[in-house]
Amino acid sequence: MAAERDSDVRAPQAVSSDGAVYETATGRAEAHYYHFSHDKAGMGSVDKAKVAAVVHSMSEGSSFYRNEERRDARIQQQIEGMRRRWQALREGGLELEGAAATARRERAAMETRRRLDRVWVVVDMDMFFAAVEMRDKPELRDQPMAVGGTGMLSTANYAARKFGVRSAMPGFIALKLCPSLVIVRPNYDKYKAAAKLAKQVFRRFDPQCVALSLDEAYLDVTDAVSRKLGGLPAAEMAAFHEAVWDVVAAIRRDVSVATGGLTCSAGAAPNAMLAKIASDMNKPDGQCLVPFDAGSILGFVGALPLRKLPGIGRVSETQLGGLGLRVVADVRDEAARLHCVLSPRMATWLHRVSLGIAESGRSGSEAGAQYRRKSISLERTFRDEGSLAALQATVAKLASKLSLQMQGSKAAAEAGSSGADGRQAEAGRAGSEAGAAEDDGVQAARPPRGHVPGFFGMADSDSDSDDAGRPKVRPAMRGRTVTVKLKLASFKVLQRSATLAEPTNSAEVISAACKRLVAQESERFKAAHGGRPLVLRLLGVKMHGLVFDDDVDEEERAAAGHMCKLDDGSDEDDGADGGSPERADSAVVGQGRRPVLRAVLDERLRQMRRHSQQSQQQHPAKRARRQPGGSSGQRSLSGFVSIS
């Protein structure tokens, strides 16, 4: 967020009930060369125009830039269509009146589902990778510094952000903006170690906390707050808020102690989406509490620029901006009209989040443990390559590495482990095995080979043990559908896939299937372009339709998957959209497919819950301690928090 906010822990009252915590000013997305939006923490004093000019001058004329221009043009066209429909809607017209009725019903139904009885905290480490490096090398502390490479930066410290340098910016552009910038290659092992220390703290406040990435975690601290209140119902909201505030402050303090001085920011709210948004409001080293009453929540979310909603990215922000909508309150006011212009799902999703309602439902409890990935992939960027033989060699190598990963920890152990990639973002996946692929030469013009143990560095560089120190068992898996991703020299991306008769994790089988797809595409391209070769800058190999070897009852799982509701039972469809719960969650802006306007986080948690439910259905013995809707024997906070 824009302002470099005062980093001290503040009194809860700092969050006024009308949501004034939030700082509105944030231009909507402009042309693509403003890519690196400067509304991040620490960017308050940046001369945006100057930064944009530099970025533009570095990009103009490049293949990358031309691709962005094409993309922007397409989006602008979509927006034109939307605007026409938007403006054609007449007050008192039949369509709009009907939509208004829908919106009213929808809102009433949603309010019914607003929950204020759980306390969610989202903790986000401040400039995580950079902070770790600074901790370990104090001489970097006052120096503009970033972690990454000349190709791409993962994160930058605040000294660097003053120059307009930020994460996801190419290093060579960052150096232009800030010639004295020190770029440090990433040390993932160190980051993982630090993340582990932080997680140990989180566990004390929520044994079931979920880490979404190395630097971010979701905690349901309802029980901790209850304990803090000494088991007595808080007579007043103020006392309750204070308890929440103190718990969050304690988490942050303990994280700092445990990690040797790393700071984090946190948000607390009645649901995870709001907590996530709040975690960003007082960065760095700050916290923000969203009051636990509907009125305050409406004020808080209402003032947010749409981009602050998790799930609204650059494209969606631009599209909605094209309709004149800038802040969340705008979409709330235009709920009816939006129902006419957006897909039902998108409209409903936007409406819901504009009310600050999310499925915070369960404690994060059931989320993590049973998580199953849906796909596994590797991709590599390299210098433009037009030789089919060289491309096929890269495909073979990717397929072999992927095969090894799919064979689980045994294969990984045999293959040994190695260092981490240099290019991974400040992330890691939810519950994932944080796939840091080895940084090998991209061009890989080596002949294809079978999986020779020990030849290819294994991807899972670290994490041969979990954070409790136990050896981590990675189940072997097989996949049924193989997909190759091809990024042309022009940056255009193609995807080709084939479904096999049997799930596999064999390097040979995967490799052969991928090569066939690449060869086909190569032919097709030549035929369509007068013999010109297909020139690529990236190749990727992905498998999905995964089955896991440690899934004992595969058929049962499949059967359960069919019958399984997509949400927790308490959260049944409110009838507002007449669809299944998952349909209520996302949608389309514009005519082409667009959407995803989903609170990703909220979605992810739900997704994980769904998995856990599936397996609970087949493994009753594994039932989570905390039952859905339950508070594990603790008192619910609904005794002293009004539920609207």
User: Which of 497, 506, 632, 634 is the binder for DNA (CB under 7 A)?
Assistant: 497
| Contacts of DNA in 430-489 (CB under 7 A) | 430, 432-433, 435, 437, 442, 459, 480-481, 483
Instruction: Enter the tokens of residue 90.
Output: 């007449």
Binding mask 232-271 for DNA (x = CB under 7 A): ----------------------------------------
For residue 318, the one-letter residue type is T
HSE, CB side, 13 Å, CA atoms: give it for residue 562. Answer: 5
- Restricted to residues 208-237, the positions that interact with DNA (CB under 7 A) are 212-216
- Beta bridge mates, 231: none
* Residues of span 543-562 touching DNA by CB under 7 A: 545
Nearer to DNA, 246 or 421 (CB): 421
The backbone torsions φ and ψ at residue 210, rounded to the nearest 5 degrees and listed phi first, read -115, 125
Under the criterion CB under 7 A, does residue 311 sit at the interface with DNA?
yes
Binding mask 498-517 for DNA (x = CB under 7 A): xx------------------
Indicate whether 364 belongs to the interface with DNA (CB under 7 A). no
- Applying CB under 7 A, does 321 fall inside the site for DNA? no
- The single residue of 106, 133, 216, 359 carrying the catalytic annotation is 216
369, exposed or middle or buried, with CB in 10 Å at 0-12, 13-18, 19+?
middle
374 touches DNA (CB under 7 A): yes
How far apart CA 599 and CA 570 sit, in angstroms, is: 20
Q: How far is the CB of 372 from DNA (least distance, A)?
A: 7
The residue among 14 and 596 lying less far from DNA, judged by its C-beta, is 596
Residue 165's identity, in one-letter code, is V
Q: Does 490 bind DNA (CB under 7 A)?
A: no
Select the span of 284-292, 311-319, 327-335, 407-415 touching DNA (CB under 7 A): 311-319
Q: Which is nearer to DNA, 112 or 150 (CB)?
A: 150
Joined together, the tokens standing for residue 367 give 């989320």
Count interface residues toward DNA (CB under 7 A): 93
User: Smallest gap, in angstroms, from Cβ of residue 80 to DNA?
Assistant: 14
Q: What is the largest CA-CA distance in the chain?
A: 79
CA distance 340 to 86: 8
Does position 314 interact with DNA (CB under 7 A)? The reply is yes
Minimum Å distance from CB 322 to DNA? 13
Q: Which is nearer to DNA, 422 or 630 (CB)?
A: 422
Which residues does residue 219 pair with via DSSP β-bridges, in sequence order? 121
| 216 is an active site residue | yes
Among positions 43, 82, 123, 173, the unique one binding DNA when judged by CB under 7 A: 173
Kindly state whether residue 361 participates in binding DNA, applying the rule CB under 7 A. Answer: no
| Stretch touching DNA by CB under 7 A, among 101-109, 386-394, 551-559, 602-610 | 602-610
Amino acid making up residue 594 = R
Choose which of 268, 346, 420, 507 interacts with DNA (CB under 7 A).
346
Cα angle 492, 496, 500 (rounded to 5 degrees) comes to 165
Q: Are 199 and 157 in contact (CB under 8 A)?
A: no
Binding mask 142-161 for DNA (x = CB under 7 A): --------xxx-x-------
The partner residues of 465 in beta bridges, in order of sequence, read: 471
Among 461, 463, 504, 607, binds DNA (CB under 7 A): 607
Q: What are phi and psi of 591, to 5 degrees?
A: -85, -40
Does position 58 interact with DNA (CB under 7 A)? The reply is: yes
**Spatial distance between the Cα atoms of 116 and 463, rounded to a whole number of angstroms:** 37
Binding mask 397-436 for DNA (x = CB under 7 A): ------------------------x-xxxxx-xx-xx-x-
- Write out the two tokens for 183: 């770029």
In the complex, least distance from residue 481 CB atom to DNA, rounded to whole angstroms: 5
Residue closer to DNA by CB (options 216, 242) is 216
Are the C-beta atoms of residues 593 and 609 closer than 8 Å to each other? Answer: no
**62 binding DNA? (CB under 7 A):** yes
Between strands 536-548 and 477-488, the pairing is: antiparallel
Sheet with strand 493-504: strands edge to edge? 375-385, 536-548, 477-488, 493-504
Is residue 153 within 8 A of residue 169, CB to CB? The reply is yes
Report the alpha-carbon distance of residue 396 to residue 507 in Å, rounded: 8
The runs of H, that is alpha helices, within 216-293 are 222-228, 237-258, 272-279
Catalytic machinery residues: 216
